Each structure stands twice: as structure tokens, then as C-alpha cells.
Structure 1
């Protein structure tokens, strides 16, 4: 019933999946810190460089020194995708599909549901920082709004739709069985297929193959293989190739989006440096002595990353809207950042910590029941029995209460016996 392969060492491939999830290594605190810094970079971009009316004046005049570097810190989502490729593969390796689904649902949804309701309430009833509707809020709660062409309540949610599709692919991959060799093939073929679909304009394939971000996830997966099994030529070639593929695809797209939404015109050269740097930073914190950092403060900062990312934009801009003409710029930015951090801590402490584990257990158990039901139904079909028929009881012929001779011969298949059972002759 386990659907993934066990841990392996370099140079060997697993043949038999384990019954229990594989043991995990110590948590990479430096990776948590990197996630937090990525979220802070996105926050700085939204507060100082992305067009907004919250400051009540031309944004270019507010904090030009911060806006200059914050424009490139807007690549935080791309850094998140590399980290996700690393971390999600690490958590999925050696786990069952129900456990993977339970883990991802519990990680993604509790904080997200609260963030949607908080931001939706702010924009509907308190501050018209963006025009939304109540129906839009309800659809956003599913996280499937992109499938039905409903706008995001908060623009940052677009990255969650990307992540969700990646989780689906990983669950399917785990159903096949995760081994080192398969990961390397997956990290080579998946991005190539995704980018080919993008070039050919196959929209459905682009959606479900997660183009153009597949190379970033794949680079993170290859880095995890190196972290897990040691340095080797093929994984490093996959890191380099996927980094180059992602840079080629995303620099033009980022030039376009930042050019339209930012007060600082981006540089294609700097973007071409910043995107590979996202991969390089993950390699730095996972493959060097930094990976041995164990400071609890880094893990605590990492725990705030997701709720901070979900809630900072409009709640922080609302604080800026209230204070922009009452305090210096630095004080307003400090207040908006502090408010965002406190709100993130509240969501983590009172939503994620108590409800995440419960949702994980419930989701995992539900998926296991569904899996067992499907396995049982498959056994019925393979054994030639109809649902509702008692196991071990051969079906009768139409219009008769007498067991059919053909069905009776198959009783041994269900019961596990190797002996064929013949029916008694009529009249005995």
C-alpha cells in the first residue's frame, strides 16, 4: 500500500518500497531563514516599488533607495519555487500518497483560509484598496479561482496556484515510486515538456505542467538529490540546465510585468543575474556548512514566512494609508512591517499550530479510507464479483437459486485456496 521508494544511497536504486516513511534528517534552519528573507523582499517590493495609491503621492518619491533593490527582491516567488522543489521532494520521499496529500493540505489551507477572510473583510468593509466582491472571496477560499477565471483577492495568491499544481505532480510521482534515478529523469523531462508545451501554445499542458516555473522546481529537486546522496555530475548538470532554462523563459516575462507595475525600470542584465542567484542561494544554504546551522530563531522566522506572505500586502498598505501623512517614511515603513509581522505571528500561533495537525490527520485518514475502498473495489472487479455480494459466495445463474458451474470454479480465487471447488450434482 505504500507508494514511494525507500531512501537510498548514491549509486543504487531502491527495489522495494518501505512500509513506513523514511527517517528525515535534521531541519535545515538556514533554508527557513532564506524563505523568510524572500518573504521580506516581497514585502519591501509591495510597500515601496509596486504602484499603489496608499502613500497618497508619487511612489517614486517615497523611498527610491529601497525601491531600487526591492524591484529585484520581487523575485521572492521564484526563490520560493526553488525551495519548494527541494523541500517537497524531501518530505515526499519515502511517504505514502495519503500522507503527502494530508501534509500539503494542512500546510496550505488553514492560514490561507484565514488570510482570504481577513483580507476580504478589509477590502470589503474597511478600506477600498482594491475592488473585490463577496462572491470572489468565497471562490478564492477554494484556491481554484484560476480554473474558473475569478480574480485573486490578493495578487500574491497566484504563487499558491503554481505550488498546488506542483504538489499534484509530486503526489502522482509518489504513486509511481520515488527513487534517485526517477527523480533525475523527472527533473530532466518534466521541464523540457513544460517548455515545449509553452512554445507550442498547448494551454492545458502549460497549466498542468506548471510552465514556465517547472525548471525552478526541478532545479530544487536536483539540489535535494545532491544534498541527500552526494555530489555527482548528472544532478549538477540538471541544476545548471534547469537554471538556464528558467532564466531564458522568465527574464522577458519579468521585464514585462515589472515594467508595467513598478516605479523602477528593471534591468534585463540584473534579472539574468538575480534568477540564477535564486538557485545559487538554495545550493549555498543546503550544500555548505550553513546547512548545519541549528539556531532556533531561524526556524521561528521560517514559521512566519507563509502567513506573512499571505497577509502583508493589503494590511500593510492599509497601515501606510493611515500613517503616510502623519510620520516620516521610515517610521511608516517600520510600522507597516511590524504590523504585518504581528499579524503573521497571530495567524501562525492561533491558526496554523492548533488546526494544521488536525487537518493533516483528518485528510490523511480520509485519503487512506478512499484508497482502501478503491483497492477493495478493484479486488472485487478482478475476482469477478459484483459489489454487494458476500465474499466467497458464487453468483447464481439468471433466474435460478443454484450456483452457476462456471462461477463456482472461481471460488478459490477469492478465498486464496488453490483448490477448485466443483458444485454438487443436482439431486444430491
Structure 2
């Protein structure tokens, strides 16, 4: 029997890699191994449509239930990989079984960072990463309940919006001066602060959490924030333990080349765990968003089959909060821009924003304005100089600037 291609992590990235191997014409065995007992699903609905009750449960899954058997993918759920031996080309499972591989894809994702304060693992504390976490929050979010959200990043703000939509009294606690400050910068972060305040969310910035108690959160200055439910969203960390123990190069994720190949020629990585060299930026970047998990596996699969391909897509992510829908295209290091140029009605939350270094567009964001992602992507990718005045002028088509 042929040695299988093995995928560790039955996530969106893992499932799409199995799909891509079949689409690329590989007819041999594929083994897809995941710790969770649910078949592969997408994570964005867990803080958006499914959490809000807008999406049915079946919509979160990557493939219909019978897809894996129909495509002869050996899906092994509820199974943890405890070790990788790249030299022997084997993975070891939690029951001691060893599975040989022709090539291996690590799609191990990331895990929520834990809040290390007294009471941080108490009965009122919630983290959001898995479908079970989401379903518990759906039960928690009931009208009149008091919810404290620690962290004003994407997960924190999306869960705050869901809780408020459900009729909860919501307080967001953030150490920085504004939400999403590192990601968006002060100019655009203010938009999200205004949005949440307009919908009745109590935002408290520049605060430190000292303790979580049964009746709520104690801040460093002695202030008590009453809450029956405390949601912690203070970031995620890539799941690199297996890779590190196997001797693979690890640095803010599993390091890969543009082909998504790790420091071992037969081991690849994709999704949240991959810190991949990006040709457009000339260095490795790790993007913790759905689009990477969706698109990187196609490149990884081709590379696993020995085909020449690189991953060079412009990073992309999106959010939905209250009546604000947003798409962001590009990549900006914290503080790595000179200015932000706006086009449209910022106060009315129907606008575009562009982050510039000199006269070059690093990233663009469309808020409640649609069908502009392609020209924004071209503006970012081309690197051509752009007149900021024309960029701000809604009468100038973006296609003329790209």
C-alpha cells in the first residue's frame, strides 16, 4: 500500500488540504487527524453568525458529513498526535500507534492565551476557540445578564457585539487606550470605539485586571465590574509544541519557505501555525485569519506533490459587528505606516481607509462599502505611488489608481 500524505489538524486548513490533494489528482491514501470530535469546521461563525443565532450549526462545517468517506480521506477524530519523527517519517498517536507519512502537513492552528490572574480559570470564565465554547456562550448570552469582556481585539469586540445584541449588559476591559490599536492604529481604532459606545457597550480603556471573582472582575485600581460571565480574548498563540519537539525551526509559529515547506523537506505547515516567507514582503509573516487557512492549503498540497508553487496572496480578513461590516486587505506592522487616508463618510460608517507609507498603499479597509476588495488588493500588490488626494476623492475610481 502507498504511504499516505498525513495532515495533523482537522481544521479548516487541514480539510482544505485534503480537498486540494484530491483536486490536484492525488489518488493515494490521505490521513487527516484531529483532536476534536467534530468534523472540520470554520471558526469565523463562532464569533459571528453562529454565535448570533443567524446561522444553522450545519453551516459551520467545511464539508458535508459524508464527504470524507466519499473522497477516501481517512478522518481520525478525537485523536491527538503526541510526536513527530521527521527522519523516520512517522507520527505517533496518543494510543501509541505510529503512522508513516510520505509528506506531512502541520495544520495545528493556535490556542487562546490564558489570563494569568487569580480566578482566571474560575467557573464564570469563558474562552472562545472551539464550537463547544461558542455553544456555551450562546447559552450564557441572555437578556439582562452582565458580561465582562477582557480584551478589545477582534474576538473580544465580536463577542461583545453578540452579547449586546442578545440584550446583555456588556463591559469591555482593555489595557490599551483604544480597541484594536496595534492592528489599526489610532485613526481607525476610534471608529470601533464609537461603534460599540453607540450600541450601549461600556468601554473601559487603560485598565488592568487584577482578579476574577464569582461576582465579576476586580481591576488594579480596586474598581469592581459586576459580571455573571467573563469572556477572555487576549490573543492566541500558535500550537508549535509538536514542531519544536521534532526539531523543526520555530519562531512565532512554524517557519516555512514560500512553498510552505518547513526546515524538513517532507514537512509543511499552513494556517495559523505557519510563519511563512511571503514574496511580497520579503520576510516571514504569520497571519491569524480565515483567509490563510482557506487558501494556503492549496499551495501546501501542490508542494507536497512536488509541484512548484508559492503562497503570495495579499493578507485579508473581515469582521461583522452590529451594523458594521468590514473587509481589510494588506499587512501593516504596528506603527509601520505614515498616515491614514479616508474616502467616504467616516461618521456614518460607510467609508474606505488606506494606510500609507510615503505614497505607497500598505493596506486598505472597506467599511459598509462592497465590491472594492479587488482594486484595493491591486493597490497593495502593485506598490505603485498613489496621489493621496486622488485616493481620498470618491469621484476617482480605485481601478484608475491601481
More helix by share: 1
Higher relative contact order (CA 8 A, sep 6+): 1
TM-score normalised by the shorter chain: which range applies? under 0.3
TM-score, L = length of structure 2: 0.22
TM-score, L = length of structure 1: 0.21
Kindly name which structure, 1 or 2, has the bigger radius of gyration based on alpha carbons: 1
More strand by share: 2
